[in-house]
Structure 1
Amino acid sequence: MLKVGDKVPDFQGVDQDGKTIKFTDYKGKKLIIYFYPKANTPGCSAEGCSLRDNYDALQKEGYQIIGISKDPVEKQKVFHDKYSFPFPLIADVDKKIIETFGAWGKKKFMGKEYEGILRYTYLIDQKGIVSQIYTKVKTKNHAEQILEKNE
């Protein structure tokens, strides 16, 4: 898992429109990279909508946003368009980016243990260094959670 202070390795993925998104595209910018388990589920929708609804405030703080899950491009497209997200959603079907960040691991749901995407958010500074990691994401108020930390 990447830790605060680590340099983010270069990565690239395909977004909801089939466009290649590269980490280097964000060089010199602050970036929010958030990992979510599954498109169009209640928690993931709430989290994405929190970021969408506070997009202007996050941009005023200098942030760009990328969402990542292992859903295929087609599911990302439906999710992206349904909620009019103003940021790209990467379809990391082979989990390369997810595993690089350490956002894959053991989870529990209704007493069952399984492997899946961990709902983590990474704040990256202009130099490409991890400045903050959220491992306990408040889905409905995630943007506020980020903005409070940056006041």
Structure 2
Amino acid sequence: MPEVGDQAPDFTLPTTDGEINLSHLTARGSVLLAFYYEDSTPLCSNEISMLKDDYEVVRELGAEVVAISADSIDSHRVFAERLGGVPFALASDEKLDAAKAFDVVDDSGKRSRRAVFVIKQGGRIAYVERWFQPGNPGQYEAIFRALGLDA
């Protein structure tokens, strides 16, 4: 179970923007890694919309956003279109390899829970929230503090 201070487990996944590799991303900067349950569900739509709204702030802090669910790339594309476009990669973790590595598989064993990790440049985990609640201001403040924003 990866915790703050640990080296983040590496993974490579297909995304709506092509293939990504976590260690390649963290070689360039920090990553806000957001696992979510399922495309097009109300709470997950809210989570992705909030990340979309805050994307420019995240980028100004030198970080990239990657959102991950077990849905297919085709499903992600439809979901992104319904949200009016998404400026970050939606990664497909159909075999739950990344979710297992980060210990965020839900009780059904078929999907990931809503969870957020901030991984700093170089790959060390700076923040862990395994039960992310979209709309919880305290969790958002903690995420932005981990990214380096003085809140």
What is residue 25 of structure 1 aligned with on the other side? 24
Contact 1:105 1:118 in 2 (8 A): yes
Within the alignment, does 1:122 sit opposite 2:123 as a pair? no
Shift of 1:148: 5.3
Shift of 1:85: 0.8
Higher strand fraction (1 or 2)? 1
Contact 1:10 1:22 in 2 (8 A): yes
- Aligned-CA RMSD value: 1.9
What is residue 37 of structure 1 aligned with on the other side? 37
* Structure 1 residue runs without a partner (length 5+): 107-113
| TM-score (normalizing by structure 1) | 0.85
Counterpart CA distance in 1 for 2:62 and 2:74 is 30
Contact 2:52 2:86 in 1 (8 A): yes
State the SS of the aligned residue for 1:43.
Answer: helix
* Structure 2 residue runs without a partner (length 5+): none
Shift of 1:74: 0.9
What is residue 86 of structure 1 aligned with on the other side? 87
Contact 1:32 1:123 in 2 (8 A): yes
Query: Which region of structure 1 is more displaced relative to structure 2, 52-61 or 114-123?
Result: 114-123
Q: % of aligned pairs identical?
A: 25
Q: How is 1:87-106 mapped onto 2 (pairs within 5 angstroms)? A: 87-106=88-107
What is residue 135 of structure 1 aligned with on the other side? 130
| TM-score (normalizing by structure 2) | 0.85
Query: Which region of structure 1 is more displaced relative to structure 2, 7-16 or 84-93?
Result: 7-16
Q: What amino acid does structure 2 have at the position aligned with 1:25? A: H
Counterpart CA distance in 2 for 1:125 and 1:147 is 12
Counterpart CA distance in 1 for 2:81 and 2:125 is 29
Q: What amino acid does structure 2 have at the position aligned with 1:29? A: G
Q: Could you give the per-residue CA deviations for residues 25-71 of structure 1, whole angstroms, max 9, x where no partner exists?
A: 31130100010000011010101010101111111122100000000
Contact 2:114 2:133 in 1 (8 A): no
**Deviating 4+ runs (over 6 angstroms):** none
The number of residue pairs the alignment matches comes to 143
